[in-house]
Amino acid sequence: MKNYLRVLVPFVVLGLLAILFFKIKDRLKEKRKVETATAILPSVSFLSIEGDSVSINAPTNKIPSFF
């Protein structure tokens, strides 16, 4: 049992890290694509239903804080 766990635990740890690594890589690739696409968009602005100004150039909350 112990020997079985000795193989299984590192395998699970490395597997989890690999999955997360590839997910992060994919997401970064996707973000770069979006950045390249939005760089050529002209500056436009809209009004929300409440009448507030909404702009694609408006700064957004840069860092989501989890902890």
User: Which residues form the interface with another protein (CB under 8 A)?
Assistant: 2, 5-6, 9, 13, 16-17, 20-21, 23-24, 27-28, 31, 50, 52-53, 58-67
Contact (Cβ atoms closer than 8 angstroms) between residue 8 and residue 14:
no
Nearer to another protein, 42 or 66 (CB): 66
Provide the 8-state DSSP code for 50.
Answer: T
Q: Which is nearer to another protein, 39 or 61 (CB)?
A: 61
Contacts of 38 (CB under 8 A, 6+ apart): 56
- Could you say which DSSP state residue 40 is in? T
Shortest distance, position 48 Cβ to another protein, whole Å: 8
